[in-house]
A and B are shown apart, each in its own frame.
Chain A
Amino acid sequence: MIDLLCLTEKFPSLLNSGVLPEDIVARFLTIIKLLIQQDLTKRSSGTTWKDYIASNNQKDVGALIDELKKIVGNNLISDPRETVLFESDASPFRGEPPLAAFIPDGTDDLQKTILFCQKNKIPVVVRGGGTSLTGSSVSLSGSLVISTLKLNRILEISPVDRYVVVEPGVRLNDLNETLAEKGYFFPPDPGSSISATIGGIISTNAGGLKASLYGTTRNWILGLEILLPNGETIFTGGKVLKQTAGYDLTSLFIGAEGTLGIIIKAILKIWPIPPKTGRIVAFFRSVSEAGSAISNLKRLGINPLIAEFMDRTTMDAISTEMGITFPDQAGSMLMVDLILNSQKREELHFAGNLMKDSGAISVKSTTSKQEMEQMYLARKGAYSSLLRLRKSPHERVIIGDIVVPVSMLSGALTECEAAAREFNLRVALFGHVGDGNIHANIYADPSDPVMWERVLKYQHRLGEIALRSGGSVSAEHGIGIEKKDLLLEEYKYTGSLYNLELIKGIKRIVDPNNIMNRGKVFD
């Protein structure tokens, strides 16, 4: 059997060697990737963990499980009826049968476990809430899944120093509920915050609504404690808001999607909850006008706390499902929150007028909590409404995720809309446009190869739009399985293919046997 993973790994050196023309190598690589991807989207890919282990001349499965049990005791789960459930996450990708799952209740056994996996070359997939949209958290064939959900303690809160120390399995909403009691919050707020864990949001550098003002997770991590695949535990960063002590190793693990090590503790920066906010809802005739309105706001020095956008398709879905009505002529909607520094709501008036000047056909603003909540209902119900309008049980709503500079939003949104028509796809656009993040929600049936092909092309086009605009192919969902080829495109486009060499070099040093979430992010 050809080892596909191994072939793709050789690609950069083949490319650099000049033996083959660059485009041929690139095409070859795309085919291989498609093969691997198809393999991973199918539930039974043919390569079972038994095959895997047999092909690696390893000890038999039963013996491996017995040895693992000796290390971790009852926290090991090997019943296939239980382990099969680690094959799914929120993405359309289906993983492969893992060897077992380990749900540690402390960090004591973790080191021994990782060393055992290292010795026996058992792939390791670390998993938090299992909410990845790109397949980062699905199990790999013959892997040990390590679930962090029992490592869910908030260890220390220091409002005066603006930090909190947590274990990786703390769910984001739980953390913010605790912090709110002290008047603080941790700003990253992805849509999955109810279930997403701190370990997961660090590993995907999650963003969310408030990233418009506060930036993504990256801006809020002060330090990490990491267990490396060689059994070493390292501490990066610290409990201070400033630190310039050598290379920024903390950053290395943010967005690494579990490919480098296991986050066992995190020091997060926290911030006081803004005392007073106001909300504006504005409707525009086109998506491009809404895009211009946001860049006009920012041009004039206004930094929205959140700036959410939705197109007509999204509004129609909300109308159908929730009975909320929108102006007939509206082609897009913006919902903007501002932190108010004065009692007089001057900022709100100013921003509202700016919306009108940018072409808004209707603008409403409020500071009443109740009214704000009412306005928020539509945004909150957007994805849910889209999901409920699926035409067949096999249809999924694939969430495209790109980011462009805010000044390019107007054009990028128009292009995303036009491309959906070109590929004949039902697409609803919404996004956290305050930082240029566009989500194109694509209705698609992954089991229909013709349609899936169009979806891949559309996703590719989205990536192109992002790159041409000076943005990125992934804003906040990570790369996982879904966007490995797009990441490559981004490196190519920006003339930085050497990044891949660098990443692989780092990976080789940290994880020489490639046991950590192998095959995710890059091949």
Chain B
Amino acid sequence: MIDYTTKLRKEVEVCIECGFCEAVCPTFSSSGFLPSYGARGRIILARDLIEKNSSPKFRELSSSFMSCLNCFACLHVCPAGVNAGAVSSYARQLINGSTPTKETDPLIRMILNLTEKFENPLGIQRQMSSWVDSSDVSFSNDSSILLYTGSMYQITPYLERLQRMREIMGESLTKFFASLIARFPTLSLVFKLLRDRKSVNSYENSLASIVKLLNSSGVVPRYLGASEPYPGTLLHDLGYSENFKRYAERVTSRFKDMGIRKIITVDPHTYDLLRNIYPDYVRDFNFEVYHYLEFIDMKQFTSSQESIVLHEPCHLVLHSSSSDFLHDVLDGICETKYPRRHGSRTECCGGPDELLFPDLSSSISRRRLKDLEDVGSSKIVTACPICEANLNLRGNVIDLADFLVQHHNTPRFSTRRPFQRK
């Protein structure tokens, strides 16, 4: 098992408490500058956590670490190379680490149980592959390249709905239902009712756009359909390392059994998880992990006068050493503008806090949207379903794949299956 205390100590001991990280930490400003919700505060509190590891009181520190977005904006400005995002992540694993207890937030318990039972955090795994039915995309079961959706695009509209329900029901009723589902996972059937047709269609369409663009670039991957497992992102992000490790091993052995060598991911979170986190937890995780944009043939688009604002997802730009593919693909298609905070200073959409800190999350998204809108273009493009869900408050945000499809040089390049009379 990973020694989180050592990892944490190594990270925090080099911090010189200069506070540069606070200036870019979205939760710091959005919390009203509460130091425990800022990057520097998290480092100082983590030192406490190491010292008082044996005390039951340390759980009180958890909201400081749980509210961290893991955006890594702090890392990019730290003169000492400290990553307060990683610190929060290690601290969560130390605080939670093993099986949830009765005191654990019922929403978290529900997600853990459903993921382990159904390989889907809402227990709606069947809904995850329905997008293929209406899409004009090709797959090949013989391919050694796997298209791994990670369920992000598919699950986002359900989570959006869940969030709205939560606002209506209030926290205590939500938690009551969550604990009920945590105990009786089959009750998760109810989540199917959360389907908002329009929203589901939109995200499914983006997924279809991605595969259609891969196909037109000569890539015909394999896809697991209804048996594709969720990668366990939330298990890791919520700090349940033991559950996550077990789960990640399960997912990996599935890939291995099928003789997969290359994995194409479609969203920044799954891309980051498989590239950077899985290898730490799963022995011999020796797959080649790619982002779909790395396969896109750039010659298939026409250039236009259109001007867009690009919101660069933090898990793509701040978590990986190279994300040039995100910018390269737009080169020559349109005029790409950027908000004040972009590149290595890009700002998180607030999405990762939506589950446990909804108010904080919405304050971060509203501010980011304002910064994006202030640039003055009517269209905001992003490449992450979570960013889209959090930023698309006024209908001016579009997924990159859909934008690329709009600019395809083949007339009527459609992602939808032609209607067939029965």
Contact = CB atoms under 8 A, between A and B. Distances in A.
A256 B9 CA distance: 37
Contacts, number: 78
A194 B77 CA distance: 9
Nearest to A321: B81
Contacts of A173: 23
A55 B391 CA distance: 54
A194 B23 contact: yes
Given A86-B35, A171-B23, A177-B340, A192 B18 contact: yes
B22 A384 contact: no
Interface in A271-299: none
B97 interface: no
Nearest to B80: A387
A419 interface: no
Contacts of B36: 81-82, 85
B340 A85 contact: no
Given A85-B44, A383-B79, A194 B24 contact: yes
B18 A149 contact: no
B91 to A, nearest CB: 14
A130 B20 CA distance: 9
Interface string B31-61: 0111110001100110000000000000011
A146 to B, nearest CB: 12
A257 B35 CA distance: 21
A103 B61 contact: no
A384 B81 contact: yes
Interface string A170-205: 010100010000000000000010110000000000
Given A149-B33, A192-B18, A88 B44 contact: yes
A169 to B, nearest CB: 9
Interface string A60-90: 0000000000000001010001101110111
Given A129-B23, A384-B79, 5 more contacts: A82-B35, A105-B32, A173-B23, A177-B340, A195-B23
Contacts of B45: 81, 85
Contacts of A84: 44
A103 B29 CA distance: 12
Contact of B19 (A77, A195, A384, A393): A195
Given A90-B17, A131-B19, A177-B340, A82 B34 contact: yes
B23 A387 contact: no
Contacts of A508: none
Contact of B32 (A129, A150, A384): A150
Contacts of B340: 177
B213 to A, nearest CB: 32
A105 B29 CA distance: 12
Interface residues of B, number: 28
8 contacts: A85-B44, A103-B32, A147-B33, A192-B18, A384-B80, A384-B81, A388-B80, A388-B81
Given A81-B60, A88-B44, A90-B17, A387 B79 contact: yes
A396 interface: yes
Nearest to B44: A85
Interface string B116-137: 0000000000000000000000
A231 B120 CA distance: 60
B13 interface: yes
Contacts of B32: 75, 103, 105, 150
Nearest to A395: B14
Smallest CB-CB A-B distances: 9 pairs? A393-B13, A85-B35, A195-B23, A90-B18, A384-B79, A149-B33, A88-B17, A85-B41, A387-B80
B17 A89 contact: yes
A89 B41 contact: no
Between A85, A89, A396, the greatest number of chain B beta carbons within 10 A of the residue's beta carbon is seen for: A85
Interface of A: 75, 77, 81-82, 84-86, 88-90, 103, 105, 129-131, 147, 149-150, 171, 173, 177, 192, 194-195, 383-384, 387-388, 390, 393-394, 396-397
A303 B20 CA distance: 31
A129 B25 CA distance: 13
B189 interface: no
A130 B80 CA distance: 17
Contacts of B14: 387-388, 390, 393
A1 to B, nearest CB: 29
B16 interface: yes
A81 B61 contact: yes
A387 B29 CA distance: 27
Contacts of B77: 194
Between B16, B22, B23, B340, the greatest number of chain A beta carbons within 10 A of the residue's beta carbon is seen for: B23
Contacts of A130: 19, 22, 40
A260 B44 CA distance: 30
A151 to B, nearest CB: 10
Nearest to A128: B19
A167 to B, nearest CB: 13
Given A81-B36, A85-B35, A149-B33, A192 B20 contact: yes
Nearest to B63: A81
A393 B45 CA distance: 17
Nearest to A85: B35
A426 B20 CA distance: 25
Contacts of B24: 194
A147 B204 CA distance: 47
B10 to A, nearest CB: 8
Between A89, A194, A388, A396, the greatest number of chain B beta carbons within 10 A of the residue's beta carbon is seen for: A194
Contacts of A396: 16
B27 to A, nearest CB: 14
Contacts of A192: 18-20
A166 to B, nearest CB: 16
Interface string B54-77: 000000110000000000000001
Interface in B275-312: none
Contacts of A177: 340
A171 B21 CA distance: 13
A129 B22 contact: yes
A195 B44 contact: no
Contacts of B16: 90, 387, 396-397
A190 B110 CA distance: 49
Contact of A129 (B19, B34, B60, B81): B19
A90 B19 contact: yes
Contacts of B40: 85, 88, 130
Contacts of B80: 384, 387-388
Contacts of B17: 88-90
A150 B13 contact: no
B9 to A, nearest CB: 8
Between B9, B33, B41, B60, the greatest number of chain A beta carbons within 10 A of the residue's beta carbon is seen for: B33
A387 B18 CA distance: 12
A150 B33 contact: yes
A82 B61 CA distance: 10
